[in-house]
Structure 1
């Protein structure tokens, strides 16, 4: 059964705001409530059935919002990958993990809630030289994660605990590949906009993206499908591209960095004005990561509209990123194929 009243967290950012707006366009849904501690993203505006409530999911107020509105489905997107946007790593962890704990506690006592959809990330798998060609949902990480990946692991653990206590609630966890597109904020978005893109000399990792609109579609489908599907699902375009191909496709110049990987590359990126690159991000730019998406297709009935290359090209066009050098000359000089 399609839910009547849906609460969406994290609507100050594109993904939450756009998801709330898309849900409000579904005539089967009576009311969509977007929640965040700062102003709603413009993507939320423009629909009579969508409303914004300024509230902190770490506060007891969130339980009152859920109960008073008769919420029967919750879409939790308020898990942030940016330490700088959160006010530092400690604040980021508190918001991600403690915020999720408080939200789950509110859902546990809300008897009308029958469906929970949680945004997670492929970063839970980490990145290492021991990784499989494709991670499936049943696989464990080959290396310990920190930062955003560790937050997501903790969030998923609390979600599993919640599901044991409330087995009557359908719980869907979506592990997204790196989001990219014209509007969504992500760590990699400014990286490919740099005229000189620092890369680790000797490494050419595989990249897998999910377009921002595909991410919204996955959340909306999980929240509205007639027969809710429990489980964890990888959400990504099925294809991959190499970092060298992405840099060349953007018309940028690679800046090979030699030396201790994390410290040298991290310092180079931060010197260029981008402070959100953590050791985990550096590890990703060393080894990359790819996820198998067949389970989402089979059980959730979801496939992305955009391939990795199409998502990346739309990001370039939408952000107005123009080549530093003519692409043909750049590809020829670097020996990179399309």
Structure 2
């Protein structure tokens, strides 16, 4: 039977690429892309549907499409990290899948940037769905920090500014997943019959200090409490990684427990083409010494400025 596929989050490059890859697979009749914002430039061959987290539109899209395969890859929340909307979007998708008569397989993208409590909620509700719908095949893929030329996340924005505050005395080792490997893992898992919870990451780790040196950022070690000052300056200083939600995402991504992709590699007979260091190098090469605002490094940019450093010093030294 020809399959009908629904992919959420198609305004992001990752989900858009997964949708297009699936549309080219034999046996796929239709691919519907759902999000609260349309994909930039459109997606040839993909039917776009607008979805609102706060109404019943997702249920209607699932029912009207007759989708038997659903991939939940996120829903745009004004292009920012938003813990509440991320969780709400996942809960909406799980609920729609449970109520649908047509859905037979569900693939959910999770992330190492989820806080432990949030990850536990996703896992609990996913297992609850499996108990209620034993006929539904479910796989959850937990991604390491996604990176690559088209990736724009709180963590990449944090690393990419010319002056970067770090916690004094700490140099976390970071795991990355290249966006190409993310697309392939999701596509392969969607078309497989594998179920369960899987880690997806490069096999190694990269010190944060190496990442910052490689893309030319100036590291500014400050006491941990000093980083909280940035949140108060985020609105006025336009520091894209310093809002409360973005700061949580960055912190969790930098200090996440190490992922082990062994079970995924065994299940799919596949392994990522990029190690963590190779994935990061791909991103660094794409930046080419250019700052987050598009100006060469060394320009003012829109990140941490000298006035912010002074405020940090006063706050942390009590002056």
TM range (shorter): 0.7 to 0.9
| Shift, 1:259, TM fit | 5.0
Go from structure 1 to structure 2 and tell me whether the alpha carbon gap of 1:163 and 1:107 turns closer, same or farther (over 3 Å shift).
same
Q: Does 1:76 align with 2:36?
A: no
Q: Does 1:56 align with 2:52?
A: yes
| Shift, 1:102, TM fit | 2.7
CA distance in 1, matches of 2:125, 2:88: 10
| Shift, 1:5, TM fit | 0.7
Number of the residue aligned with 1:100: 90
5+ residue gaps in structure 1?
A: 125-144, 326-338
| Shift, 1:170, TM fit | 0.8
CA distance in 1, matches of 2:186, 2:125: 19
CA distance in 1, matches of 2:234, 2:175: 21
Of 216, 227, 242, the match for 1:251: 216
Q: Does 1:193 align with 2:122?
A: no
Go from structure 1 to structure 2 and tell me whether the alpha carbon gap of 1:238 and 1:223 turns closer, same or farther (over 3 Å shift).
same
Go from structure 1 to structure 2 and tell me whether the alpha carbon gap of 1:72 and 1:249 turns closer, same or farther (over 3 Å shift).
same
| Shift, 1:162, TM fit | 0.8
Number of the residue aligned with 1:12: 11
Go from structure 1 to structure 2 and tell me whether the alpha carbon gap of 1:54 and 1:238 turns closer, same or farther (over 3 Å shift).
same
Q: Is the 8 A contact 1:258 1:264 kept in 2?
A: no
Go from structure 1 to structure 2 and tell me whether the alpha carbon gap of 1:22 and 1:53 turns closer, same or farther (over 3 Å shift).
same
Give secondary structure in 2 for the equivalent of 1:30: strand
TM-score (structure 1 length as normaliser)? 0.76
| Shift, 1:240, TM fit | 0.6
Residue correspondences, number: 289
5+ residue gaps in structure 2?
A: 291-295, 299-319
Worse overlay, 274-283 or 198-207: 274-283
CA distance in 1, matches of 2:208, 2:215: 11
Q: Does 1:175 align with 2:142?
A: yes
CA distance in 2, matches of 1:34, 1:259: 41
Q: Does 1:85 align with 2:79?
A: yes
Once the two structures are superposed, residues 229-258 of structure 1 have per-residue CA deviations (whole angstroms, 9 ceiling, x without a partner) of 110000011111111111112132211113
Go from structure 1 to structure 2 and tell me whether the alpha carbon gap of 1:265 and 1:98 turns closer, same or farther (over 3 Å shift).
closer
Once the two structures are superposed, residues 116-169 of structure 1 have per-residue CA deviations (whole angstroms, 9 ceiling, x without a partner) of 000101234xxxxxxxxxxxxxxxxxxxx3xxx544432232211111101111
Go from structure 1 to structure 2 and tell me whether the alpha carbon gap of 1:153 and 1:103 turns closer, same or farther (over 3 Å shift).
same
| Shift, 1:264, TM fit | 5.0
Q: Is the 8 A contact 2:107 2:140 kept in 1?
A: yes
CA distance in 1, matches of 2:118, 2:79: 15
Q: Is the 8 A contact 1:250 1:321 kept in 2?
A: yes
Go from structure 1 to structure 2 and tell me whether the alpha carbon gap of 1:268 and 1:202 turns closer, same or farther (over 3 Å shift).
farther
Number of the residue aligned with 2:311: none
Once the two structures are superposed, residues 88-107 of structure 1 have per-residue CA deviations (whole angstroms, 9 ceiling, x without a partner) of 85xx51x3223322322221
TM-score (structure 2 length as normaliser)? 0.81
Give secondary structure in 2 for the equivalent of 1:174: strand
| Shift, 1:171, TM fit | 0.4
Q: Does 1:113 align with 2:111?
A: no
Q: Does 1:320 align with 2:288?
A: yes
Number of the residue aligned with 1:334: none
CA distance in 2, matches of 1:150, 1:185: 24
Once the two structures are superposed, residues 183-222 of structure 1 have per-residue CA deviations (whole angstroms, 9 ceiling, x without a partner) of 1221111122111222112111110000111111111111
* Residue pairs, 1:133-282, within 5 angstroms: 145=115, 150-225=117-192, 228-258=193-223, 260=225, 262-263=227-228, 271=237, 273-274=239-240, 275-276=242-243, 277-279=246-248, 281-282=250-251
Q: Does 1:292 align with 2:257?
A: no
